[in-house]
């Protein structure tokens, strides 16, 4: 590890503070606003709750873990399904329960250690489920890219998506330094400018929006009744299987970046509790579930600035942006094909990161056991299988594939004893987000 420019507890100067915090804001911005855009939530709430969630995370981890929490991609399909089943309130209830699972797991880890989690979630289970998350959203991305507002194919809209995709790819492959960490933001900006040039951007709402405007909160009891149903639980909670594994992977990589064993101090139970608390705070206000962001870990690695004060600064700026009506209106004016263009790459990267986890962990598909587990997870998840117990209780798609994968791993003979090696590889922890 290179000597840090600013270590975890170091305070930056005022000028450094603003500049370095903005870097982290830009790194998370594109992905964080894309999730609410896809699931029909208010982007300003996503920004606000990412800031509040990050501050809660830093507080719970005793200001010892420099991480930023943004919107989680793993919950896109479950949120859409929950909204379809019971409205936006159902999605928020499910998100809160998923965060509560984090709290329960954190409590168990504090008492029993963390290796049991790794044994429960080996690469042969988590890798295929991550692939399911990415490929399960492929149709959504392509539809957003190709179709106009009427739902029919539009060459003009598709051209916007292709320009956006090309800009994102070029930035990902050729950019250096900080620019290499914000390809999504660069792609959105380039696609937006092209869409503006071809007449697909409506700026009227930006002109009429107020500078200060309260976000569109979605509050329990006030905006929706709180009813916990088995269907909501089974739609949302099983996704925590994947996001927990993602979280542990991020903490191991972050430990290597900052040169400290964050799993031991302040402890994995604290970081998991912080992640879960951020998700619960977000759900209570109407935002998407949260997860630690690999992009921001990348910023830490490149800049060698590990200061938690910089991360806290980014969180405060995100909270302020959540109340700036002009910013919210500008985000809302981004045409659908622009988001479709970046989604094609992002969802593909999610699927590929699952494949890379299998490769990096050296999962042997010459063994029938591994082949069976991965095959069943992929077909159930991507095929959209549904286990319908009754009209009001069903387990769908990704949640069902994750549950089946865990069960197969537990019951099939020949389970390897060294399953805890799941997160030993640095590269296997890229954010599923």
What would the pLDDT profile of 214-225 be if each residue is shown by its tens digit?
Answer: 999 999 999 999
Could you give the CA distance from residue 145 to residue 6 in angstroms, rounded to a whole number? Answer: 42
In this prediction, residue 268 carries a pLDDT of 94
Task: Choose the most confident range, by mean pLDDT, from 53-62, 248-257, 385-394.
Answer: 53-62
In this prediction, residue 164 carries a pLDDT of 94
For 202-247, how does the pLDDT look when each residue is reduced to its tens digit (9 = 90+)?
898 899 889 999 999 999 999 999 999 988 998 899 888 878 888 9
CA–CA distances in Å: residue 59 to residues 55, 199, 332: 6, 46, 32
3-state secondary structure (DSSP) of residue 124: helix
pLDDT value at 198 more than 90: yes
- Report the candidate in 426, 334, 409 with the shortest Cα–Cα distance to residue 117: 409
In this prediction, residue 391 carries a pLDDT of 66
Is the distance from CB of 272 to CB of 110 less than 8 angstroms? Answer: no
For 370-412, how does the pLDDT look when each residue is reduced to its tens digit (9 = 90+)?
999 999 999 999 998 988 877 667 777 788 898 899 999 999 9
Is the distance from CB of 354 to CB of 133 less than 8 angstroms? Answer: yes
3-state secondary structure (DSSP) of residue 120: helix
pLDDT average, residue stretch 20-48 = 90
Could you give the CA distance from residue 395 to residue 82 in angstroms, rounded to a whole number? Answer: 11
Could you give the CA distance from residue 65 to residue 252 in angstroms, rounded to a whole number? Answer: 11
In this prediction, residue 103 carries a pLDDT of 96
Other C-beta atoms within 10 Å of 11: how many? 12
For 277-318, how does the pLDDT look when each residue is reduced to its tens digit (9 = 90+)?
999 999 999 999 999 998 898 889 888 899 999 999 999 999
Could you give the CA distance from residue 207 to residue 282 in angstroms, rounded to a whole number? Answer: 29
Per-residue pLDDT band at 165 (split at 50, 70, 90): very high
In this prediction, residue 392 carries a pLDDT of 65
Beta strands in 29-153 (DSSP E): 69-71
Per-residue pLDDT band at 429 (split at 50, 70, 90): very low
274-299 burial, b at 16+ Cβ within 10 Å, e below that, comes to bbbbbbbbbbbbbbbbbbbbbbbbbb
Per-residue pLDDT band at 130 (split at 50, 70, 90): confident
CA–CA distances in Å: residue 166 to residues 150, 257, 342: 25, 31, 9
Per-residue pLDDT band at 432 (split at 50, 70, 90): very low
In this prediction, residue 218 carries a pLDDT of 95
In this prediction, residue 304 carries a pLDDT of 87
Give Rg (Cα) of the chain. Answer: 21
In this prediction, residue 2 carries a pLDDT of 67
- Up-side HSE of residue 352: CA atoms within 13 Å toward CB? 7
- Weakest-pLDDT range from 111-120, 128-137, 157-166: 111-120
Could you give the CA distance from residue 277 to residue 169 in angstroms, rounded to a whole number? Answer: 34
Pairing assessment for the beta strands 393-396 and 386-390 based on DSSP bridges: antiparallel
pLDDT average, residue stretch 262-287 = 96
Residue 395 backbone phi and psi in degrees, to 5: -115, 125
Could you give the CA distance from residue 121 to residue 85 in angstroms, rounded to a whole number? Answer: 29
* Mean residue pLDDT across the chain: 89
How much is the pTM?
A: 0.84
* DSSP character string of 375-423: HHHHHHHHHT-EEEEETTEEEEHHHHHHHHHHHHHHHSS---TTGGGGG
pLDDT value at 428 more than 80: no
Pairing assessment for the beta strands 69-71 and 290-292 based on DSSP bridges: antiparallel
pLDDT average, residue stretch 359-364 = 90
In this prediction, residue 421 carries a pLDDT of 44
Is the distance from CB of 193 to CB of 180 less than 8 angstroms? Answer: no
Is the distance from CB of 97 to CB of 105 less than 8 angstroms? Answer: no
For 325-361, how does the pLDDT look when each residue is reduced to its tens digit (9 = 90+)?
998 888 889 899 998 998 898 888 888 888 988 998 8
In this prediction, residue 271 carries a pLDDT of 97
290 DSSP 8-state letter: E
Per-residue pLDDT band at 425 (split at 50, 70, 90): very low
% of the chain beyond a pLDDT of 90? 55
- Report the candidate in 113, 420, 75, 57 with the shortest Cα–Cα distance to residue 272: 57
Other C-beta atoms within 10 Å of 272: how many? 29
Could you give the CA distance from residue 190 to residue 188 in angstroms, rounded to a whole number? Answer: 6
307 φ/ψ sector (left φ>0, alpha ψ -120 to 50, else beta): beta
% of the chain beyond a pLDDT of 70? 94
């Amino acid at each position: 590890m290179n000597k840090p420019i600013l270590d975890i507890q170091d305070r930056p100067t005022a000028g450094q503070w603003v500049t370095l915090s903005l870097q982290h804001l830009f790194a998370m911005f594109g992905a964080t606003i894309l999730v609410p855009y896809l699931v029909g939530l208010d982007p300003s709430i996503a920004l606000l709750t990412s800031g509040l969630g990050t501050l809660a995370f830093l507080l719970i981890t005793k200001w010892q873990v420099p991480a930023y929490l943004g919107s989680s991609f793993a919950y896109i399909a479950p949120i859409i399904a929950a909204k379809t089943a019971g409205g936006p309130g159902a999605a928020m209830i499910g998100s809160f329960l998923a965060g509560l699972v984090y709290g329960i797991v954190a409590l168990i880890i504090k008492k029993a250690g963390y290796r049991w989690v790794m044994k429960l979630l080996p690469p042969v289970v988590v890798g295929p489920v991550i692939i399911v998350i990415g490929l399960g959203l492929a149709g959504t991305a392509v539809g957003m890219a190709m179709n106009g507002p009427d739902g029919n194919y539009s060459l003009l809209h598709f051209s916007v998506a292709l320009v956006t995709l090309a800009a994102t790819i070029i930035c990902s492959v050729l950019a250096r330094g900080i620019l290499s960490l914000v390809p999504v933001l660069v792609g959105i900006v380039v696609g937006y400018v092209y869409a503006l040039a071809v007449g697909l951007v409506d700026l009227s709402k930006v002109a009429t929006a107020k500078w200060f405007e309260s976000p569109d909160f979605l509050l329990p009891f006030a905006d929706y009744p709180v009813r916990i149903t088995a269907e909501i639980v089974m739609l949302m909670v099983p996704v925590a299987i994947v996001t927990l594994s993602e979280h542990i992977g991020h903490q191991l990589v972050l430990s290597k970046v900052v040169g400290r064993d964050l799993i031991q101090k302040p402890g994995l139970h604290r970081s998991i509790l912080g992640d879960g608390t951020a998700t619960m705070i977000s759900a209570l206000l109407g935002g998407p579930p949260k997860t630690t962001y690999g992009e921001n870990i990348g910023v830490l690695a490149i800049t060698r600035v590990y200061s938690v004060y910089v991360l806290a600064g980014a969180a405060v700026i995100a909270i302020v942006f959540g109340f700036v009506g002009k910013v919210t209106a500008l985000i809302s004016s981004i045409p659908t094909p622009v988001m479709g263009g970046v989604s094609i790459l992002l969802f593909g990267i999610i699927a590929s990161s699952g494949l890379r986890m299998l490769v990096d962990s050296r999962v042997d598909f010459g063994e029938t056991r591994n082949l069976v587990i991965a095959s069943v997870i992929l077909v159930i998840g991507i095929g959209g299988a549904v286990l319908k117990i009754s009209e009001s209780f069903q387990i769908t798609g990704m949640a069902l594939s994750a549950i089946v994968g865990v069960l197969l791993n537990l019951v099939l003979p020949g389970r390897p004893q060294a399953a805890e090696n799941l997160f030993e590889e640095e590269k296997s922890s890229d954010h599923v987000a």
